[in-house]
DNA sequence: GCCCGTCTCCCCCGTGCGGTGGAGGCGGAT
DNA sequence: ATCCGCCTCCACCGCACGGGGGAGACGGGC
């Protein structure tokens, strides 16, 4: 008997992309594109109908994005397919969101055809999970820029940085003053300086900036 | 001419693991283990000496953990190797940290030998990035347990969660009101509820709690 | 039927916060 | 000797915020 082929569903709002993927995948023995969807909502229903082994899911789609569609599929099917999130990766921060949603892997749209095929095969047969340059580039944005995660961090004086750290712990000006051993008025000055340099409107925005820039980290 | 082999460095505090990996990898044509390290610090120096193509890096190691070692390697070498983080995955939340550190992939220690080999090959030749069941399980922990990443998230109503998300974007009550289409007084009520449920004293602490609990994540 | 949770909105009040515009001291750089 | 950056602190002001009350409407559950 022949080996059961890997059944694939494509979800992408661009017909050309779907066609390209279909051509590449259908040319491969053992791979079979069984369905297509142009929206996230359509993807959910198509997957429910065809129950494929693998779904190639675009992130940006009308109605429901790929992330939500992934969530819905994984949470509503008893034996959900492996979902590979496909992205063009421009400035996407979808990666972590997709991971949380339960995506089995990532694929860069500009990936080589052979990588695409290998990705699908690998995801289909083992519970391994493919990743592309997308993450490397994203990771690079986080790691190689480590010497300069916050553009403004260099401009914060020692005291200001200290005050910002205390702010990010949820302390009031008076508490910060007591903690670092200065007067409340002094803390106010430093806070004002931090707000000015970070471009924040209030302490909440300053704390957000601290998190988003990596100046401080969760956990 | 023969193809240049993939040069590999193993970093793991358990000798047995290193040996096992070496046996598996050395048996493969085109793969060559050129060095081993038992600590994170050692890993950094060994990598600097041998300049391998791929590093298999354990997470938990004495002196310096795999994450920090990864950071150091990637930030100090001009042409750093691909670093694959190896984990036993018990309750690790290292995955995101490793990604941020610039890891090229993940591998589960209990992965099949053939998966290991294929992972190394793939990481070495393309900029694709391997993942294992580790992430699937971890993702499951985050997605299926989505009702419970923050202990209090389950207790936040839909509106309250929405308001908290807007708070975490640095918006004032008035701005949130305009954005979600309700009156300012309503937003005040929701904010009060959020503060009560999160145990926060003010909106800043609420936003901090949102970040620390993973309710929202930095880009 | 009733209750309870949710969403919606109102009042009043105190205050922490942020904005403005200062001042004095201290050290390094020029 | 002078200037500048940083740290320290002050007074005044307006306001968004948070606390403490409530109230009406809708829905589902008992």
The CA distance from B198 to B216, in Å, is: 14
Check B170 against A201: CB less than 8 A apart: yes
Q: What is the token pair recorded at A214? A: 């990596």
- Top-confidence residue, A152 or A199: A199
Cβ atoms of A134 and A87 within 8 Å: the answer is: yes
Among candidate residues A66, A92, A126, the one where a domain is terminated: A126
Interface residues for strand D (CB within 7 Å) are: A 157-160, 177, 182-186, 188-190, 202; B 172-174, 188-189, 191-192, 195, 201-204
* Cα–Cα distance for residue pair A26/A24, rounded to 1 Å: 6
Nucleotides on strand C lying under 7 Å from protein C-beta: 5-11, 16-22
Instruction: Check residue B24 and give its pLDDT.
Output: 76
What pLDDT, in 10s, does the model give residues B207-219?
998 888 778 877 6
- Inspect the interface and report whether the beta carbons of B143 and A71 lie closer than 8 Å: yes
A178: which residues sit within 8 A by CB, 6+ positions away?
Answer: none
User: B154-174: b or e for each residue (b if 16 or more CB lie within 10 Å)?
Assistant: eebeebbbebbbbbbebbbbe
For chain B, the distance separating the N- and C-terminal CA atoms, rounded to the nearest angstrom, is 46
Assess if residue A138 is contained within a domain: no
* A120 shares a domain with A12: yes
Query: Distance between CA B67 and CA A11 in Å, rounded?
Result: 35
Does residue B140 lie in a domain region?
A: no
- Residues B63-120 pLDDT 10s: 677 778 888 887 777 677 888 887 654 334 555 566 656 677 766 665 556 667 767 7
C-alpha A131/C-alpha B132 separation (Å) is: 10
The verdict on a CB contact (< 8 Å) between A208 and B207 is yes
**Tokens 């995506």 sit on residue:** A103
Residue range(s) defining the domain that contains residue B187:
146-213
> Do A156 and A121 sit in the same domain of this protein?
no
Domain boundary among A76, A92, A126: A126
Is nucleic acid strand C under 7 Å from B109's C-beta?
no
Q: B8 with B54: CB under 8 angstroms?
A: yes
**Is B176 a member of any domain?**
yes
Q: Does residue B10 sit within a domain?
A: yes
Tokens of A88: 């063009």
Q: Is residue B139 part of a domain?
A: no
The total number of structural domains in chain B stands at 2
Contacts of B105 (CB under 8 A, 6+ apart): A131, B82, B84, B85, B119, B123, B129, B130, B131
User: Which chain A residues touch B118 with a CB distance below 8 Å?
Assistant: 122, 128
Task: Phi first, then psi: give them for residue A215, nearest 5 degrees.
Answer: -60, -40
Average pLDDT, chain A: 74
């Amino acid at each position: 008997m022949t080996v059961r082929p890997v059944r694939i569903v494509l979800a992408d709002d661009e017909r050309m992309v779907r066609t390209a993927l279909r051509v590449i995948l259908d040319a491969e023995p053992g791979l079979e594109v069984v369905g297509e969807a142009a929206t996230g909502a359509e993807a959910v229903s198509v997957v429910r109908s065809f129950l494929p082994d693998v779904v190639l899911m675009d992130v940006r789609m009308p109605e429901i994005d790929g992330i939500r569609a992934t969530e819905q599929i994984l949470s509503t099917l008893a034996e959900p397919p492996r979902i590979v999130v496909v992205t063009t990766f421009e400035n996407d921060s979808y990666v972590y969101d997709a991971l949380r949603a339960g995506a089995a892997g990532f694929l860069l749209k500009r990936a080589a055809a052979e990588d695409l095929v290998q990705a699908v095969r690998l995801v289909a047969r083992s519970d391994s999970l493919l990743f592309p340059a997308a993450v490397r580039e994203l990771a690079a944005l986080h790691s190689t820029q480590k010497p300069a995660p916050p553009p403004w961090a260099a401009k914060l004086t020692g005291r200001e940085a200290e005050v910002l750290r205390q702010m990010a712990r949820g302390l009031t000006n008076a508490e910060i003053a007591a903690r670092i051993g200065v007067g409340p008025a002094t803390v106010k000055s430093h806070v004002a300086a931090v707000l000015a340099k970070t471009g924040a409107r209030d302490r909440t925005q300053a704390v957000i900036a601290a998190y988003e820039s990596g100046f401080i980290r969760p956990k």
